């Protein structure tokens, strides 16, 4: 079973701090990696996609990918209470367009 693992949290950080969310995956051939944010009662919305090793920055968000360690992370700088949500890591399995989602990490940003 190809899996994506996340710590369920909750991860609590004070407003203005950096939130660090982590994800590991088991399919070494995976090529596409995504972070989605899901507010309670809403659908997942894409935050970041990353395809190559290294860092990818978009505003306050930075995705980091390390294929050798099978590890993806998301950093949120200057965390805001509006960032409080569940963050889902998703991986596209090798040779398919099948996506495996982690169970998500609940982030709470404390004002």
Q: Which residues bind another protein (CB under 8 A)?
A: 32, 34, 42-46, 49, 88, 90, 92, 96-104
For another protein, the closer of residues 85 and 104 by Cβ is 104
Least distance to another protein from the beta carbon of 66, Å?
20
Measured CA angle at 34 (ends 76, 88), to 5 deg = 70
Least distance to another protein from the beta carbon of 7, Å?
13
C-alpha distances in angstroms, 86 versus 14, 28, 34, 46, 110?
16, 25, 14, 12, 15
**Chain centroid offset of residue 103 CA:** 11
**Ramachandran area for residue 60 (φ above 0: left; ψ -120 to 50: alpha; else beta):** alpha
| Contact between residue 24 and residue 81 where contact means Cβ atoms under 8 Å apart | no
Least distance to another protein from the beta carbon of 98, Å?
6
For another protein, the closer of residues 62 and 102 by Cβ is 102
For another protein, the closer of residues 44 and 72 by Cβ is 44
Least distance to another protein from the beta carbon of 27, Å?
14
């Amino acid at each position: 079973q190809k899996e994506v693992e996340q710590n369920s949290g909750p991860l609590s950080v004070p407003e203005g701090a950096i939130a660090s969310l982590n994800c590991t995956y088991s399919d070494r051939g995976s090529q596409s990696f995504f972070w989605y944010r899901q507010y309670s009662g809403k659908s997942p919305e894409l935050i970041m996609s990353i395809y190559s090793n290294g860092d990818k920055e978009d505003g306050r968000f930075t995705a980091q990918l390390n294929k050798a360690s099978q590890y993806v992370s998301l950093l949120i700088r200057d965390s805001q209470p509006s960032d409080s949500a569940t963050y889902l890591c998703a991986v596209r399995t090798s040779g398919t367009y099948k996506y495996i989602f982690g169970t998500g990490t609940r982030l709470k940003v404390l004002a």
